[in-house]
Structure 1
């Protein structure tokens, strides 16, 4: 379900006196907000399992009709590590008269519990300055413990460009009747505890995994903003002014201490590896001194009362009346600290810049009050690369590129203030976001005006290359750029497939972020079949196979006959099918893991026919080599014969590996099947994988071109079954297979006979399928393995692409 949010008309800013950016009303031209029910997943046995999407209103309505209370099976009791002391209770069973949110209170009092999730609680503290944002996320006017109560609540979070709605039940972990994790300083208020549970469900379906995280990630998840990080050691000269500026702009802001405990931290009672909210910043005159001192107020998310709330030299440096009037402590856990001490005690400051939309309203530049605009785009990565490979030449060939053209300066110094942010969408099969390294590279192209370089040309030594910007789960950088054209290349050094990223630019310039890619020449791709000619050396052999299967009535064949021809040992393409593969060192490392765990992660899904063939081959070997007196087992020495029968060269190292791992002279039939199936999932054997569906698509492809002069038709299922081809069309198919396999082999690895995702674009280019990066990424996502693609997967993707583009051309 998708919900559209209209413009907000109440104040979206702080409770402080109005500032310039607060005075502007909602702009109907601002970006519309949509909310989707979150799609949670689970990664099981190398597959992503999607949970059923939960709709709050549907669930609540059904519960009220049944007079029941919600128990969330997607975040069940088994995931809570409960004990006799630690049990789940609903707020109504914890205290009388619980409320979600206490209105008309000046301060938010979320408090950190036993989890090390200060990075999340600090973000909640920042929400008090933005009522519209809080109302949008928590929805206190729409859900409560009174009206329509059914033990169900929901909260909203931003995920890589999309706001998602997360549903939870209100059962919370308790001990001795007290909340174990987040709570509120107001005893009967429960929004901090419930939103923490929703966030735990969204990220990991686990409370414990919330321990230790990144404030920039939680801030972005609660706002959609763009985070910046400043290291105090390298930014100390300008950092106070940066913080001061951030406190008068729409931002969320926090600071963090180091991993190491220093004497100064112990003196001030600060915690190591802990994050604090920055709640105020001031310039105040000292006693008998005209110069102003810089001070920062921080707030500990534990929310406990502190004996010494004005640290260091503050009590001796300022008059008591000044401290009382200007350095106020408003809530428990707040501390005033001199800036000179701050830069010694804190390692970093993180600022999340809110972006303009119908929740936040307009955002304005510091100078001249100009409106800021957000340019954003979603993209997909095929996979990750080793950090040593991350040169511009490499990443520009295997990752998407985006351009920005700056033609008008923001300031008198002829420069533009540009804030770039990159974030990754969470998925359960990926590394935790807080551990996932992502980057972007910026290149300035030395060209005149707003000219854009050809998307197929490389960057050269005359171009200015910026240092890469990176981070865990999120990367951002504020730049002051001269006029010209810039190229942004997002990439990752973590090896996962099909990750979605979101690239944002906040600046005074509208819609400046563009995809930088080549156009697709559909006519060139469509004409490929027309220009194919059969190879002379294979013509007679393959033609004879065709004639043997052709109907005597019309001299044509259907997809079933094509299937049998393509799988025939005499078919010209299959002449290399039975060349034995040499096992490489990498395989033995995998075999060790398989034998230790008795599990393997398949690099490709094997057909039932292939698995059955492996099983049959192994069983035939056992009939010959089975050890007397040990049913179902044979000597390890005969393992190489079994592997040879399955297409792999004899290798004594296999025996050594198996013998070392299993510690015995005999091996069971099930273990051999496991080994062979694992190997089959690593290697491509094209003659075994021309399945019936692919044969149907081959016929649809050539018939579509010939019948409609290159304008393809969407054949429905009954029509595809009835399609037939003549000998010329058959020759086109065979040559299409032969040429594409030749180019595929040029880029395939010798170890596994597969093409790495880094070479997929080059392989497609070689067969004249010059596609855009987004299409190549989708092909790899749908047809590829974790890091590579086998020929049978590749040819299926090419045929499907031909049919799709042909259909598109017909409709134009």
Structure 2
């Protein structure tokens, strides 16, 4: 089961109309498209069509015979049949219910429909594209209006004040039998701001209940007991759970705002979490989403009766914002907080936030050890991008080092969150200090990436260019101590080169508070791993680059020996089953586009209680393949790989790549085959990308296949290149030769990208056709793109024998309809099979 989210703005709604009647043919009716049967069968998982409404289902079931007679007598058969969708075939059993007199009417309607159609399929496709463009413009207008009314600045995509409803439920993915039935539900949902209440606890309802009873909230789902503290290793001391009034005289959620200096790690090995929280404090718009309505949650000293001891926090979990409610009971030893605490004993936001995150994980001990990027994604809904500093050539290659700094500097300026650490190779190295004061196996939050001016100060120096700029990076140790002792540390002489005004701009403070500066060269040398949690800008109202995000939720599901249903084929080491994994299609609609792809799996931290501490992340990765321009069904043979990720057992995996215009398929896999689990694939492109999971292996036969025909062969056409093309000039034509090709099979066609200014263009494009009559030819046309009207330079007609093999041809171009040879020839490979799942 999969469901998709396509949106430049999470507040938007996608409206999809049904395609026109499937009973329409043109030309010789040679080729077969998905709509020939899918529009009738109504599965819609690949085409995105709506399933019939419950109301229409009930009405069809009541009067099957009368409804069928109405089809033939009162309205056009094709339109009615489209409205019925899959229920007509599945529930009414059309083969048995259609009486002979209705069959005659059906045939008459089909013949009328065929004769009335005078326009070509290409013209119909243009009208459909025009309609879709208009629909997208209307949708963008609605989304833009929603943004203006509801969302704030560049973080509008993370605003959580909209309608509250569920999108992702782990149980929703567990039942394979419901896969196709439930796919449409997600396609038709409103993808806007979403909130899921953890354990079904609604903050407002619980608070109101406490007000009516006049008592403080006590959380039954995360009780003040040992089960909420640990599952394996207990703290060797007596734990007492205390409310804030028992810990301090004037408890506050915040004291003088939020700062990374508020944090001090307690008796728990969760520096990864504390480092992530420290990064979160740098962006007010972000922590205000994690701590919603923070002013309303603050203690009211003038009206203490309004305090019910209940707090709420929100975390982005596997595509959905999840609200977690906690009480204010905190674990202490001898009156001191055991876990994370603020420097000011009256300030409690960090302790309560940690408690909410521990509740989500199952208990406090479940937070022992982790990945800072995972927590940052939970706080923001961003995309995690890990960087191996010791393996990417950044230490040796000055150009790569320069590029990395620019990437990190830009990310920090745009509000992305950064982290770094030093990798350990053994348990003995964990949290061991180096001679320079850094701690191994310990997560640091990056709090600034700057270009610092050094040298002579003053206006004249600036004009004369006497001031050098050094790349600098600032970090914070979650322990609140143990700082870097090398160059540019707090008391190092290098700071004497920096003017007082520049120090003030940097906010330089010489205290043993765990925060320190390093020059970028030293940072790359001493740290081995870094991470960027990118906050992808999907807002329409932005001066910066925006992205279109698509999400596909699916599942690796094992069915050994059943290629049709097996979706756990493993990595490329398992060549026999690799292509049985989930496959996700998307388009790139620009000549060149940067594409971001993130593969995620649900957090398994909450299972550590049941497994005795083991965390069962799957080792996963993915590869991207360039496929035929018009592919609609699953891949059965390997195609050109254009990008891939490493295999890693973390919650998310990320790749940034540059792709040319075309169609692509992503294959996400686990490393070993037959491993089961849920997964989410997020794809970010510059324009709409038509992203969807491919479920079907071939066109689906229906009860009308006997009338309309069914494909007898599948043919793949690979247009390599053209040579010696004509440079003929029209009255209003361009001087340069910009060409593209159109590959046709009957009424179906595929258009290549435009190759600029070349009489010998390298197209390297493929098209695939499911052909009802293999005796009909394949036609390839070469067109010159011009200002007013494109010119046909020539075409080639090929008879493609079904011989289950690949043949390469060099074909001379001819004038239209075989009117004689013209300048130029094409190089093309053709593969035809009688097995529709051979390609």
Normalising by structure 2, what TM-score? Answer: 0.52
2:644: which partner in 1?
466
Change in 2 beyond 3 A, CA 1:246/1:401: same
Shift of 1:252: 1.1
Shift of 1:452: 3.2
1:295: which partner in 2?
472
Shift of 1:65: 1.9
Shift of 1:178: 1.4
> Whole-Å Cα distance in 1 between the matches of residues 168 and 239 of structure 2?
29
1:336: which partner in 2?
517
Q: How does 1:117-516 map to 2 (within 5 A)?
A: 117-139=270-292, 140-146=294-300, 148-203=306-361, 205-235=362-392, 236=394, 237=401, 238-259=403-424, 266-287=434-455, 291-304=468-481, 310-311=488-489, 315-316=493-494, 318-319=496-497, 321=499, 324-325=503-504, 327-329=506-508, 332-356=513-537, 369-383=544-558, 390-391=573-574, 394-397=577-580, 399-409=581-591, 415-426=592-603, 428=606, 435-445=616-626, 447=628, 451-460=629-638, 462=640, 464=642, 466=644, 468=646, 470-493=648-671, 499-516=677-694
CA deviation vs aligned residue, 1:104-139 (integer Å, no higher than 9, x gap): 566662222121211111221222233233222212
Cα-Cα RMSD: 4.2
> Whole-Å Cα distance in 2 between the matches of residues 493 and 340 of structure 1?
36
1:92: which partner in 2?
245
Shift of 1:51: 9.5
Change in 2 beyond 3 A, CA 1:155/1:416: same
Change in 2 beyond 3 A, CA 1:219/1:525: farther
Change in 2 beyond 3 A, CA 1:293/1:95: same
Q: Secondary structure at the match of 2:326?
A: strand
Shift of 1:443: 3.0
> Whole-Å Cα distance in 1 between the matches of residues 359 and 534 of structure 2?
26
Q: Secondary structure at the match of 1:472?
A: coil
> Whole-Å Cα distance in 1 between the matches of residues 348 and 494 of structure 2?
41
Change in 2 beyond 3 A, CA 1:304/1:55: same
CA deviation vs aligned residue, 1:423-476 (integer Å, no higher than 9, x gap): 1123555888965134332232254xxx23242441336555635554411111
Shift of 1:385: 5.8
2:208: which partner in 1?
61
Shift of 1:302: 1.8
> Whole-Å Cα distance in 1 between the matches of residues 327 and 506 of structure 2?
42
Give the conservation status (yes or no) of the 8 Å contact 1:402–1:515: yes
Q: Secondary structure at the match of 1:239?
A: helix
Give the conservation status (yes or no) of the 8 Å contact 2:557–2:568: no
Give the conservation status (yes or no) of the 8 Å contact 1:276–1:300: yes
Give the conservation status (yes or no) of the 8 Å contact 2:282–2:447: no
Change in 2 beyond 3 A, CA 1:324/1:103: closer
Shift of 1:387: 6.0
2:265 to 93, 97, 112: 112
Q: Secondary structure at the match of 2:281?
A: helix
Shift of 1:329: 2.9
Shift of 1:183: 1.1
Q: Secondary structure at the match of 1:459?
A: coil
Shift of 1:401: 0.9
Mind listing any 5+ residue stretches in structure 2 that lack a counterpart?
1-9, 12-145, 172-196, 395-400, 457-465, 559-566, 706-834
Give the conservation status (yes or no) of the 8 Å contact 2:438–2:483: no
Q: Secondary structure at the match of 1:246?
A: helix
Change in 2 beyond 3 A, CA 1:463/1:134: closer
Count of residues in correspondence between the two structures = 493
Shift of 1:153: 1.6
Shift of 1:95: 0.6
Q: Secondary structure at the match of 2:682?
A: strand
CA deviation vs aligned residue, 1:367-396 (integer Å, no higher than 9, x gap): x83322222122222159686665565232
Shift of 1:345: 1.4
> Whole-Å Cα distance in 1 between the matches of residues 147 and 261 of structure 2?
25
Change in 2 beyond 3 A, CA 1:52/1:436: closer
Give the conservation status (yes or no) of the 8 Å contact 1:34–1:163: no
Higher strand share: 2
Change in 2 beyond 3 A, CA 1:262/1:114: closer
Give the conservation status (yes or no) of the 8 Å contact 1:456–1:518: yes
1:70 to 217, 220, 239: 217
Shift of 1:195: 1.0
> Whole-Å Cα distance in 2 between the matches of residues 116 and 29 of structure 1?
32
> Whole-Å Cα distance in 1 between the matches of residues 577 and 344 of structure 2?
55
Change in 2 beyond 3 A, CA 1:116/1:58: same
Change in 2 beyond 3 A, CA 1:338/1:312: farther
Higher helix share: 1
CA deviation vs aligned residue, 1:162-210 (integer Å, no higher than 9, x gap): 111112221111112111111123321111111111111112x111121
2:808: which partner in 1?
none
> Whole-Å Cα distance in 2 between the matches of residues 385 and 435 of structure 1?
17
Give the conservation status (yes or no) of the 8 Å contact 2:625–2:640: no
Mind listing any 5+ residue stretches in structure 1 that lack a counterpart?
13-21, 42-49, 410-414, 528-767, 771-812
Which stretch of structure 1 is more off in the superposition, 340-349 or 255-264? Answer: 255-264
Give the conservation status (yes or no) of the 8 Å contact 2:275–2:444: yes
Give the conservation status (yes or no) of the 8 Å contact 2:584–2:666: yes
> Whole-Å Cα distance in 2 between the matches of residues 214 and 34 of structure 1?
30
> Whole-Å Cα distance in 2 between the matches of residues 250 and 108 of structure 1?
19
> Whole-Å Cα distance in 1 between the matches of residues 260 and 635 of structure 2?
56
Change in 2 beyond 3 A, CA 1:72/1:307: same
> Whole-Å Cα distance in 1 between the matches of residues 653 and 636 of structure 2?
25
Q: Secondary structure at the match of 1:129?
A: coil
Change in 2 beyond 3 A, CA 1:362/1:264: farther
Shift of 1:39: 8.2
Shift of 1:341: 1.2
Give the conservation status (yes or no) of the 8 Å contact 2:384–2:534: yes
Change in 2 beyond 3 A, CA 1:321/1:64: same
Normalising by structure 1, what TM-score? Answer: 0.54
